[in-house]
Amino acid sequence: MNPFEQAEKMLQDIQEATLNSIEEAEQFRIKYIGSKGLLKDLFAAMKDIPNERKKDFGQLVNQIKQSAEAKINEAKQANTGSKKSKSSGEDLTAPGIPYEVGTRHPLSIVKNEMIEIFKRLGFVVEDGPEIEDDWHNFTALNLPENHPARDMQDTFYIDYNANKLLRTHTSSAQIRVMEKQKPPIRIITPGRVYRNETISARAHCTFHQVEGLYIDKDVSFADLKQTLYYFAKEMFGSDNIRMRPSYFPFTEPSAEIDVSCFICDAKGCAVCKHSGWVEIGGCGMVDPAVLTNAGIDTEEYSGFAFGMGIERVTMLKYGINDIRLFFENDKRFLEQFS
């Protein structure tokens, strides 16, 4: 067979071929127009064709190529189309499956609410690092070197010698703010704190606080009380709180903040240990030694500070009796706060 006859034969074969699947179409493609395919041989034969017939031969080869390509496309279209409608079995009229929408964590809900309440009193939100040094977490806050709270028992040290620890309270952020800001200062710092405590229904090794600090001329304990009354009224709908004399190295005088137990209506339950009161934090007038450490003139300024546990406030607000629930991430628990 001369090249012309070969080409005519190939064209006929191609036109008569039936391709029943994608695989067959691929085999066909490899056979004819693949990089080692028959068409390549035809192109190679071109050089032996007499010049006056080269044009005709070229056209024939092109026609072969186009028919082969058309055949392949046809087979591909027929087969992908039919496959889809065969295997899908989808009912396109069925209603869609709704996406599950997540819910905010109860601690975030209460934290945001606390921020809103204090914002209304003119407090602005500040931030502080969770990895702290001895100065900000202890020394500047008037915690003398051998104070029991500095014991390794309570504090998670990342590196004791390198002076790196996980803050045990948000009070460390007070110092950072006072170091960079001149009074008047009116800030809150919500955030996570860490303590090496045995985990129980009432205590966890990590929890959250909202610290408050107000420094200005003539700030008094009455201002502190009024701020806490306002907070309780807005958060719980009742200002039934009390301040119990206490001690913190960084405040003088100091008090513990107790809220009437809203879980049992102060009748007595496990959360309030049958006392009718639940402690939500500490407060007091900023100790002059702390102001001095932060470079604030104690002749001119005074201030109050408080630190509240967000978990405690949330437990009271929603009647939750086990702090561990906040950290287990059980969807059945979390979904109740949507």
10 vs 290 by CB, closer to ligand PHE = 290
6 vs 139 by CB, closer to ligand PHE = 139
- Contacting residues for 84 by C-beta, under 8 A, at least 6 apart: none
Least distance between ligand PHE and beta carbon 335 (Å):
31
68 vs 188 by CB, closer to ligand PHE = 188
261 vs 305 by CB, closer to ligand PHE = 305
Dihedral sign computed on CA atoms, order 138, 139, 141, 143? positive
67 vs 251 by CB, closer to ligand PHE = 251
Least distance between ligand PHE and beta carbon 182 (Å):
21
Chain residues binding ligand PHE by CB under 6 A are 169, 171, 248, 251, 254, 281-284, 305-307
Angle at which helices 106-120 and 310-318 cross, to 10°: 100
Least distance between ligand PHE and beta carbon 304 (Å):
8
Least distance between ligand PHE and beta carbon 148 (Å):
13
Contact (CB, 8 A) for 193 and 170: yes
Least distance between ligand PHE and beta carbon 276 (Å):
22
32 vs 304 by CB, closer to ligand PHE = 304
- Residue 319's DSSP bridge partners are none
Q: Give the span between the Cα atoms of 142 and 102, in whole angstroms.
A: 43
Q: Give the span between the Cα atoms of 257 and 228, in whole angstroms.
A: 9
- Residue 245's DSSP bridge partners are 255
Element (H, E) at 45: helix 38-45
Least distance between ligand PHE and beta carbon 102 (Å):
31
> Torsion-angle region of residue 163: left (phi > 0), alpha (psi -120 to 50) or beta?
left
